[in-house]
Structure 1
């Protein structure tokens, strides 16, 4: 296995690759998810090892104008803590900026706060959220 990692913007990723990536770190993969989601994206960043295996990913959704949203940042379990997630987020931010977006948003769980704020340069903001599945 090569340690060389390549990063690409909007290169093809199969649904099977996404399922494998999610499962690699214990996530609950839903087959067909990526095939449904990608058409709504401004773009995505893929990180691949020297063998071409998908080892990192982030999706960039957007509103078609000024706002882009990072979702589904993932790193293959055996590749974590190597800076791959930071690199995919930085490339995603650069591509969103190049597309004319003014703002890049991200929501995250408390355990990854330091990653997004310290490693990736996001700043904390006030926001609101409704969990639609439980809202009556």
Structure 2
């Protein structure tokens, strides 16, 4: 079955909450994703397979040259098939089209190969304060 990638896809809260629970291994929450996306995002990419949401990445921006990836997630049963890399590639294309010059991402160590090898990110020095 074909996987379709959609910029600013019409995703509902229930589908996205279920995908996050599956992908990140936590109970389903009742987050209001639609409001969050509309308020804070440059855009987002949805991956659909047979009408089901199987992947998602959020792209936020500073309103200028910088865009940031958040919440990259692929359903467990669809991993290791290039879905995540295609989500990120679509996000990068759309951020470039919006005149962003840089795409940032932070990640846990076990995702290093995905972001550097599969997606083409380069290592850089960055800082972080846990709040």
Determine the structure 1 residue equivalent to 2:103: 104
Determine the structure 2 residue equivalent to 1:53: 52
- Aligned ranges for residues 76-87 of structure 1 at < 5 Å? 76-87=75-86
Structure 2 gap ranges (5+): none
Q: TM-score, normalised by structure 1?
A: 0.90
Rg: which structure is higher? 1
Q: TM-score, normalised by structure 2?
A: 0.94
Q: For residue 5 of structure 2, give the secondary structure of its aligned residue in structure 1.
A: strand
Give the total of aligned pairs: 129
Structure 1 gap ranges (5+): none
- Structure 1 residues 9 and 28: CA distance shift in structure 2, 3 A: same
- Aligned ranges for residues 1-136 of structure 1 at < 5 Å? 3-25=1-23, 26-39=25-38, 40-50=40-50, 52-132=51-131
Cα-Cα RMSD:
1.1
The superposition leaves residues 60-80 of structure 1 with CA deviations (integer Å, 9 ceiling, x where unpaired) of 000011000001000011111
Cα distance in 2 for residues equivalent to 1:102 and 1:28: 36
Q: Which runs of 4+ in 1 moved over 2 A?
A: 27-30
The superposition leaves residues 27-61 of structure 1 with CA deviations (integer Å, 9 ceiling, x where unpaired) of 354312413420210000000002x1000010000
Q: For residue 38 of structure 1, give the secondary structure of its aligned residue in structure 2.
A: helix
